Structure formats: C-alpha cells, structure tokens
C-alpha cells in the first residue's frame, strides 16, 4: 500500500510540475512535413506542443525585452523561421521568450547536437533557418535545433509580487502599488510597465531583499486616450525586462462636474463571454451565437454587437438592444450561417450612454475539422494519473 501511495504522489507531483509549463508553439505531427501554428490562436488545432517553463515565456508585444524565438508565416498551417535567421521575414506571427534565455545561456540554436552533457535538451527541430518545417527533434537531417537547459526559476527571476491597493481611481489621484522580492535574494533594480507603453523607473526604491516596498504614481500622468473610464494593466520587471511579474489591472475615471465618481457608476457592465462555434457546412445548418453577459446592477440598458473577422457588424446596423442585470443572461438571437467565413469573431456589450464597453472573442470553425486535433488543455496528465491508479489497484488485487 505504501508503494502505491508513493507512486500516486509522484504522479500527482508530475501533474503540478507540468502545470508550470506553457506552450511556446504547436505543430502538426512528428514528420518532416509538419507545419506549425501560434499557440495563442483559438484556431490552432495542432496537438503537438513545444513547452517552456512559464517564467521564461514572454508576450511578444507586452513583455519588455521579449526575444523572438520562432516566426510563423501564418497563424495556422504555417512554415517557420528561427529567431536567429537573417533577415527576419516572418514578423506578424511569432513566439517569444524572456531576454535572459539567450543572455543567460539558457537556450541556443545549433546545427550540431544539443550539449546534453551540460544539461541542454532539444525542444524542437527545424528543417532550415527560414521557410522551414517544425517538428520534434531527430527528424530533419540536417536539423537546426533549439536547445535549452532550464535552470530553477527562482534563481532567474527575483521579482515575485506586485499588487495595487485598490482597483478604481479618479483622474489625478495617486495610484498605490506594493511589491516585494524573495527573502533569500539580493535587492534588484525594477521598473513598472503600464498599458504596454508607459515605463516608470522606481528610482531609489529597489525591490527589497526582505519585506514589502511601496510606491505611488499620479494617475494624471497616464494617457487616457480619449476613454473615460479607462482600464490599465501593469507589470513590474527588472531593468533588462527579462523577469516580469504577473499582470494586475486598475481603472482610472475622469469625474464630471467636480463630483467624485463611485466605482459602480464607472462601468456597470460586469462580464461578457461568447461560446466558440463549429459550422456544419455539409448539412447546411446555421448556428446561434451564444453571448453571456451581466451587470453590477439591474435594468442597465445597452447593446450587444457581433463583429465578423473584418470588423463588420453582423446583427443589424447598430447591434441589438438589451437590458442587462445582475443575473447572467444570454443573447442568442443571431445565427452564423454555413456561408459565413471562419475566423475570429467578437461580441461587444456597451451601455446606452457609451461610457463603458467590454468585448469577448470567439472562434468560428467548420464542423468537418476533427475535434481530436484540439490541443490538450491540461487534463491529459490527470487522465494518466487516474489510469495508473486503476492499473495499480487492479495489480494489487491480483497479487492478494
């Protein structure tokens, strides 16, 4: 029995360890003709995944110092180029990692074998440096290989926590942040990035070796870009941008007529989500769009608007009138027909005053696409654990 418990504990540990990994790029299969797709694209249906620890993954647009690892010719069914190719031709769709993967000798590209003697393993292989196929290692001859040795995350990323003291501020108020680093690491210089374009140097307040530090910024220094209210996202990084914290959000509102605007009046819309759709082109049936929405109070007048991938309104010239309440409701009065194009659609809910709107994106695909190619979202490891449990228990019963 102790042996069974030990095996289950190891399996569960593997589940939690793998949860720290994120997809860098997906590919079709283990063959020399395999194509790739962007892992963040809802239409990406390739179930082979090259994963990296989340601490090294980077958002190509938002993470300061993000380094391009792979460029794709298209978001799906794509050829690829290595981030080391010259010149770079695939720049519209790409996968990135933090800057320290190269500067810290954590990953590298090579035509030779990966240096396994020093802990480097091959994540994927390319048939060439550009206009290439991407697949698992050992298929291409010669192969341009991406090799990595992922050292413990704590040693590479000293910044741990960033929080905002409240979520809603009036324009001109000081936005208050707290942050900290692990106790066992030395202090590091840090910056904050707000809304992807406002860099703020913390100055003398470094990330402390112990305890929590605090700093304020004047919300009047932030670019509202004509929105009122406007939601901002913030992350903290070390000076070279290689180590970001998690993202936090806060809202800034310009009060009217000198009156302090209370949070419920800033944006009455609470949530919106949309269900992905699969069109059955063979049977010629239409599919209803399902948009779920809710508000912070009852009786909020507004509109639900459906846009196609080109930004054209689909449900009437100005959308559909709705009344939003605290209990989640569904708008399903509009249908996508088999003649509609596939791609990324989006649904928008906006209040009648035009002060607040929220969007939700959903993919429209053809029903003929096999669901077996949908990428695993993390349940595979759990299924393996359960299957092993059944086998172990069965084996134990046979030996009694």
For 112-130, write each residue's pLDDT tens digit: 999 888 888 999 999 999 9
May I ask the CATH class of domain 157-265?
mainly beta
pLDDT at residue 271, rounded to an integer: 82
Would you call 107 helix, strand, or coil by DSSP?
strand
Rounded Cα distance, 63 and 246, in Å: 11
pLDDT at residue 244, rounded to an integer: 64
User: Taking the CA atoms of the chain, what radius of gyration do you get in angstroms?
Assistant: 25
Would you call 387 helix, strand, or coil by DSSP?
helix
Rounded Cα distance, 109 and 84, in Å: 8
Would you call 357 helix, strand, or coil by DSSP?
strand
May I ask the CATH class of domain 275-373?
mainly beta
Q: Give the tens place of pLDDT for each residue, 354-381.
A: 667 787 777 777 754 433 333 343 444 4
pLDDT at residue 337, rounded to an integer: 82
Cα–Cα–Cα angle for 133, 52, 24, nearest 5°? 45
Dihedral pair phi/psi, residue 33, rounded to 5°: -105, 10
Cα–Cα–Cα angle for 61, 191, 212, nearest 5°? 125
Dihedral pair phi/psi, residue 184, rounded to 5°: -95, 10
pLDDT at residue 203, rounded to an integer: 54
Rounded Cα distance, 312 and 344, in Å: 12
Token pair in block for residue 337 = 């027909």
Spans in the chain with pLDDT lower than 70: 1-20, 64, 100, 103-104, 151-160, 182-189, 195-206, 208-210, 238-247, 257-266, 280-284, 354-355, 367-400
pTM of the entire predicted model: 0.43
Dihedral pair phi/psi, residue 365, rounded to 5°: -130, 165
Residues 163/150, Cβ–Cβ less than 8 Å: no
Pairing of strands 248-253, 230-238: antiparallel
Q: Give the tens place of pLDDT for each residue, 213-257.
A: 788 888 888 888 777 788 787 777 766 565 666 667 788 888 776
Token pair in block for residue 266 = 């800033």
């Amino acid at each position: 029995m102790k042996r069974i418990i030990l095996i289950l504990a190891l399996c569960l540990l593997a589940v939690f360890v793998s949860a720290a990994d994120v997809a860098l790029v997906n590919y079709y299969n283990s063959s020399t003709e395999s194509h790739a797709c962007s892992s963040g694209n809802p239409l990406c249906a390739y179930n082979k995944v090259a994963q990296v620890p989340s601490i090294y993954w980077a958002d190509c647009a938002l993470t300061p110092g993000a380094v391009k690892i792979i460029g794709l010719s298209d978001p799906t069914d794509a050829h690829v180029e290595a981030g080391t190719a010259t010149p770079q031709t695939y720049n519209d769709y790409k996968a990135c990692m933090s800057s320290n993967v190269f500067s810290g000798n954590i990953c590298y590209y090579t035509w030779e074998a990966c240096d396994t003697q020093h802990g480097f393993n091959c994540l994927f292989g390319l048939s060439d440096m550009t206009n290439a196929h991407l697949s698992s290692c050992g298929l291409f001859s010669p192969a341009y290989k991406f090799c990595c040795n992922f050292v413990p995350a704590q040693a590479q990323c000293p910044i741990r926590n960033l929080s905002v003291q409240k979520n809603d501020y009036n324009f001109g108020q000081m936005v208050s942040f707290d942050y900290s680093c692990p106790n066992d690491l030395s202090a590091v210089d840090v910056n904050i990035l707000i809304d992807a374009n406002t860099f703020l140097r913390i100055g003398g307040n470094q990330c402390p070796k112990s305890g929590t530090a605090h700093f304020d910024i004047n919300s009047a220094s932030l670019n509202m870009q004509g929105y009122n209210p406007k939601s901002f996202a913030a992350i903290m990084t070390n000076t070279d941008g290689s180590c970001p914290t998690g993202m936090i959000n806060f809202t800034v509102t310009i009060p009217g007529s000198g009156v302090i605007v209370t949070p419920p009046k800033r944006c009455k819309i609470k949530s919106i989500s949309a269900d992905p759709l699969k069109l059955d082109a063979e049977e010629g049936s239409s599919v209803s769009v399902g948009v779920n929405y809710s508000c912070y109070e009852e009786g909020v007048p507004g509109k639900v608007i459906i846009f196609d991938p080109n930004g054209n309104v689909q449900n009437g010239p100005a959308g559909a009138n709705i009344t939003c309440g605290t209990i989640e409701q569904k708008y399903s009065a509009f249908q996508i027909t088999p003649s509609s194009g596939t791609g990324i659609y989006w649904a928008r809910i906006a209040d009648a005053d035009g002060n607040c709107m929220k969007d939700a994106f959903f993919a429209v695909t053809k029903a003929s696409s096999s669901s077996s190619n949908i990428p695993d979202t993390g349940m595979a490891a759990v299924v393996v654990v359960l299957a092993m449990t059944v086998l172990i228990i069965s084996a134990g019963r046979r030996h009694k």
